[in-house]
A and B are shown apart, each in its own frame.
Chain A
């Protein structure tokens, strides 16, 4: 497979959580293409479905959450239709994931070495413990951690170090796709910057394709090649990173960018968006964003907008639909 080929293709994905008062439609008809070697930023406010989308790629949704429709094609194999064995073989070895809180993502009763050995032996049945530890040592060293720390327990390490170990665990099987779910939220600003550098470095060293899920637009600006903006369980806009910041098309993207505090003094006034995120048990008819949109038209209240391509962006909005 060459750079530029499609590694992951999500097609019309639906995810729902049946709860006692109804069904939460967390992801509603999302389609997304990921090219080999790119970093895709996935942004949006909390509850927009970005994390759910990330979790559903590895089918890690907690019950009662489930994929209710659509396909997730990884190298042309549909993850949504895989059986347990295929899925387990995929998790951690082809597609890996790192999580929000490095402090709680490691089992407190397992030493760092145990974590690595377990992961390695799960995917390579014949591997002995000694060989596994050698591989783990090499990985730690490449992440700038002394190899004798392999015998230590998670509580003996700092937050940044645990985050790096999480990454090491994710990359030990040489996966080609990494899903990072809010990986910097729990870190302080300095460690966060170092971590993003590390991620960038690892991307080149391991030939990774990365999905970076975050609500921090600063993070994606630094790292992402393309950015997907989600709102209310659907995609609002997909665009190359630079272009999205300079020329946002979707009214929601504009609102989102206007609400970021800026260091430049000429910023007129910090904008806030009126209204609140949609109720996903009973989402608004038509475009989910219409109750908060400054440009609402009649059709927005009635029909879901189609995807329109404009200036290299994909945008889900009636404003850009060329009318016949």
Chain B
């Protein structure tokens, strides 16, 4: 147990250089690239004086290394500056939108995991049959369907033609988030308030976006699970379990899947990037008021500090989730030596 704690601490410390590099990359991309953010922001037609004023206000006329130190210093204090177009702290804008994105990605990931892992395990169990081929085909095809198009198609079929689910936003017209808003996670908020109509409405709104995100990513997990299951099913302990009279289902879905899950878990850290990219696109398709929408809106408005802030938060989320995955890995696998 003490070992585990030590491992978690050292692994957490190891995230720091990664975060620093990510922050540096963001700095480089947003400040050193050709094109001055201020003139880009003001559309290139602003008078010289206005540009100069803005530059001063943003501290962009100081030497680069001072800007960099200042930038890192402020991020460390969770100070992301102030929006240039609205009278609003960037952190405030973000904390307003972050729960929506987390709610969406969490449910998307859940759908992906359930679908991907079950189908992958099933395909491996039935390897080299028609059902296996069909599932493999599903994996390839689904991987090639852009998440934004899948979203539009689901909107068309289930939102417009069948009219089962709403196709935009987090709540319907007659539901007012201000009535229950608390944590920002609407499902939790409505549950806390025991407001069942609102809960149902929020859940209905979540269905299509979450499935869009979940279905798209499930292709990768089908393939990962299937490949790992095939390896594990060849292992001696599977044969040994069979020789003891353990049933086939228990062997495939307990013995094998448990072992196959460990490499899948390690891969999950890398899929987070895809999850977030998918979330941004899904948010745009479904007018989901999350981080992706915020980022794009502010890009159109050329609100430079907010753009930077949103990207930083995405970077921090990536670092945090890969840390989390490693820690879960350490807890699940008894073999790991810290």
Interface residues of A (CB under 8 A from B): 58, 60, 62, 88-93, 96-97, 99-101, 104-111, 118-119, 122-123, 153, 155, 166, 169-170
Contacts and interface: CB of A to CB of B under 8 A. Distances in A.
B260 to A, nearest CB: 10
Interface in B313-338: 332-335
A122 B243 CA distance: 12
B239 A99 contact: yes
Interface in B237-276: 237, 239-247, 250, 255, 258-259, 262
Most chain A beta carbons < 10 A, residue from B239, B241, B333: B241
Interface in B118-149: none
A56 to B, nearest CB: 12
B328 to A, nearest CB: 14
Contacts of B247: 88, 122
Contacts, number: 77
Contact of A105 (B240, B259, B333, B335): B240
Contacts of A111: 334
A96 B246 CA distance: 12
Contacts of A88: 245-247
Contacts of B333: 109
B48 interface: no
Given A104-B235, A107-B237, A91 B245 contact: yes
Say which size band chain B's interface belongs to. Answer: 20 to 34
Contact of A89 (B237, B241, B245, B259): B245
Closest 4 CB pairs of A and B: A92-B244, A91-B245, A92-B245, A104-B236
Contact of A97 (B243, B250, B255): B243
A107 B255 contact: yes
25 contacts: A60-B239, A62-B239, A88-B246, A91-B243, A91-B245, A96-B243, A96-B244, A99-B239, A99-B240, A99-B243, A101-B236, A105-B236, A106-B240, A108-B237, A109-B258, A109-B262, A109-B333, A118-B241, A118-B244, A118-B250, A119-B244, A122-B244, A122-B246, A153-B335, A169-B240
A107 B259 contact: yes
B335 A99 contact: no
A124 to B, nearest CB: 11
Nearest to A85: B247
B334 A91 contact: no
Contact of B237 (A60, A106, A123): A106
B244 A169 contact: yes
A272 B326 CA distance: 55
A260 B243 CA distance: 33
Contacts of A119: 244-246
Contacts of A108: 237, 259, 334-335
